[in-house]
């Protein structure tokens, strides 16, 4: 019987190195030098505000703080059996509100732009705090008054800065007696200059005298005295260096441009020069009318209510609706054919 030679240790190790593992192990294979090469990632700083992941974190955080302040001050008054007020002792909110200067101050404070709804939300919360302050003042709760004052002062421009901004504001009427306004409609825009027409100094007295003579002639038909009416002033309207009837051949466009003057009774009171661009005649007429309305209230602020009720001080937000794929136009569909 022949003896079988046993392999040496070196031969066995070489065989093991050349062989491949064909069985599973509970742990995944990791090279022994892999751990030394991995550098740990730097720790990310945690957000300072809980509203960090909102679109406007500073604004959202301010809203949360104001709501919390309202709850805390209401609770402080509730512990003193002052809040809520009985129905017969309801106090009206303070009339002194927040204007555009405070709006800009809030945008700077929040480092973002605020739309009207967001501004109203902040001011609404501040008005609720102001109401709590009035209740605390009348009930002698000085701590609540000081707490609310410290919060409201952060959102209101100081009186000195407000007066300075009012003084620095330029007059809308320049040294030549003109006012410059802008208007937009659809894709059109218009820039309008308004200036008062030149009338004789004795124009109003001559009109009054002529009306008195006319009244006497009606009462006494035999009177030979004739009223002397002065020439009425006329309004000259130039659009893009052309008379209005040349630039706007359609009567409807001309009436739209002159409507603010007719509505306020200032036809003949101003001379108008306009530069209109973009869009068509309808859009340019609407933009020019809006600019004229804004110019009229610069000279005559008391006419603002009349123009606002007619909608002449509000920009028309309507735009041309886009054409849709598969439709003939914006909403028109193709005729359906069965076969």
**What is the C-alpha separation between 177 and 174, in angstroms, rounded?**
5
Q: Which residues contact 285 (CB under 8 A, 6 or more apart)?
A: 185, 248, 253, 254, 256, 257
178-185 and 188-196 beta bridge pairing? antiparallel
Q: Is 149 in contact with 133 (CB distance < 8 Å)? A: yes
Short-list 323, 321, 322, CA closest to 334 = 323
Predicted confidence band of residue 41 (pLDDT cuts 50, 70, 90): confident
pTM assigned to the model: 0.54
Q: Quick check: 30 pLDDT over 70?
A: no
Query: In terms of pLDDT, which residue wins out, 205 or 84?
Result: 84
Residues 6+ apart with CB under 8 A from 227: 209, 210, 211, 213, 214, 217
pLDDT at 60 over 80: yes
pLDDT in tens, 261-301: 999 988 888 999 999 999 999 999 999 999 999 999 999 99
> Where are the chain's structural domains?
57-165, 170-198+233-318, 203-231
User: Is the pLDDT confidence value at 87 over 90?
Assistant: no
**H/E element holding 76?**
helix 57-79
170-198+233-318 is classed CATH 3.30.230.10? yes
Q: 321 with 330: CB under 8 angstroms?
A: yes
């Amino acid at each position: 019987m022949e003896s079988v030679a046993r392999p040496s240790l070196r031969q066995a190790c070489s065989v093991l190195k050349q062989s491949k593992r064909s069985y599973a192990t509970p742990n995944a294979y990791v090279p022994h030098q892999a751990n030394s090469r991995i550098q740990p990632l730097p720790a990310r700083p945690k957000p300072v505000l809980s509203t960090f992941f909102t679109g406007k974190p500073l604004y959202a955080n301010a809203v949360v703080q104001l709501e919390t302040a309202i709850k805390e001050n209401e609770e402080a008054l509730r512990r003193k059996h002052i809040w809520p007020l009985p129905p017969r002792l309801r106090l009206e909110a303070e009339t002194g509100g927040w204007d555009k200067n405070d709006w800009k101050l809030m945008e700077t404070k929040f480092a973002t732009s605020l739309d009207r709804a967001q501004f109203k939300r902040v001011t609404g919360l501040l008005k609720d705090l102001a109401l709590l302050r009035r209740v605390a003042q009348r009930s002698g709760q000085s701590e609540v008054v000081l707490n609310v004052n410290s919060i409201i002062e952060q959102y209101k421009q100081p009186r000195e800065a407000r007066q300075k901004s009012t003084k620095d504001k330029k007059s809308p009427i320049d040294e030549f007696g003109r006012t410059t306004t802008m208007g937009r409609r659809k894709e059109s825009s218009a820039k309008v200059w308004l200036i008062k027409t030149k009338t004789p100094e004795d124009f109003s007295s001559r009109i009054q005298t002529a009306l008195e003579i006319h009244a006497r002639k009606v009462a006494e038909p035999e009177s030979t005295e004739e009223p002397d009416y002065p020439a009425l002033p006329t309004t000259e309207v130039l659009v893009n260096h052309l008379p209005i009837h040349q630039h706007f051949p359609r009567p409807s466009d001309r009436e739209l441009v002159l409507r603010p003057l007719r509505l306020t009774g200032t036809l003949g009171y101003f001379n108008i020069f306009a530069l209109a661009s973009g869009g068509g005649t309808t859009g340019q007429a609407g933009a020019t009318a809006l600019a004229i309305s804004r110019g009229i209230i610069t000279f005559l602020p008391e006419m603002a209510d009349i123009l606002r009720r007619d909608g002449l001080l509000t920009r028309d937000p309507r735009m041309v609706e886009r054409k849709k794929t598969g439709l003939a136009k914006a909403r028109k569909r193709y005729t359906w054919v069965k076969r």
